[in-house]
Amino acid sequence: MTSESNDLHGMVPDHHDTAVLLIDVINHLDFEGNEELLKIAEKLGKQIASLKEAARKLGIPIVYVNDNFGKWKSDFRNVIENVIEENKPGKPLAKLLLPTEDDYFVLKPKHSAFYCTPLDILLNHLGTETLILAGIAGNICVLFTANDAYMRNYKIIVPKDCIGSNTSAENNAALEQMENILKADIRPVAEIIKDLKRSALRKNSNQEKPDEIIRK
């Protein structure tokens, strides 16, 4: 029925020109050739967690975009339990990035977060213009998602220490492609966070100006 679905009222209470996409961070990580990635998984998880924490404080919405596991049930809770309980190699990463009540979730059936998902509609309601991408694999699902974001005219930020691939060579090739072709900002997460805070300050001070004028 239309009452709620028509305009998605109530579903998307947040509004911000920036959104964070956490791509496949809830992940078994049990695929072939994962050795190098497993070694950096915890560090990667902490860096992504720092991005998430900063975004949360600044009111920037977080959207988990994740593969489904098991039978298709549009049930993200199930996906999380699956990774945690089965004690898969991805458990430590997942535990660093457990979603909370404030987060949005989109299940994706293929590599790109945009392909056959409601992501674009959700971002439209959020007012998103800039996407910050983080997660794995940098040269597959992150890159596919970045390409699709670029075709949809989003500004793209991919903090280079917030994505991981099977090998660092593959990770670097993906970063180069995103920087050169997609015009992505790939500076490290610490610098990105600094910029986000600065921009929030600027917005706040702009919003306060009219009041100040009135007060004087």
Which residues in this chain contact a second copy in the complex, by CB under 8 A? Answer: 1-8, 10-13, 24, 27-32, 67-78, 103-112, 115-118, 120-122, 136-137, 139-141, 143-144, 147-148, 150-151, 153, 170, 173, 176-177, 180-181
- Of 50 and 68, nearer to a second copy (C-beta) is 68
Cβ 137 to a second copy, closest distance in Å? 5
- Of 40 and 199, nearer to a second copy (C-beta) is 40
Cis bond before residue 137 (omega within 30° of 0): yes
Cβ 54 to a second copy, closest distance in Å? 21
Cβ 50 to a second copy, closest distance in Å? 23
Tokens standing for residue 90: 């991805």
d(CA 194, CA 197): 5
d(CA 157, CA 74): 28
Residue recorded with tokens 């950096």: 40
Cβ 154 to a second copy, closest distance in Å? 13
- Of 7 and 208, nearer to a second copy (C-beta) is 7
Classify residue 130 as left (phi > 0), alpha (psi -120 to 50) or beta. Answer: beta
Using only C-alpha atoms, what is the Rg of the chain? Answer: 18
The span from the first CA to the last CA of the chain, in angstroms, equals: 51
Cβ 196 to a second copy, closest distance in Å? 22
Nearest to 45 by CA among 83, 12, 77: 83
- Of 70 and 210, nearer to a second copy (C-beta) is 70
**163-164 and 62-67 strand pairing:** unpaired
- Of 36 and 148, nearer to a second copy (C-beta) is 148
d(CA 114, CA 160): 21
Let me know: does 9 contact 121? Beta carbons within 8 Å. no
Tokens standing for residue 39: 């070694």
- Of 39 and 194, nearer to a second copy (C-beta) is 39
Cβ 187 to a second copy, closest distance in Å? 21
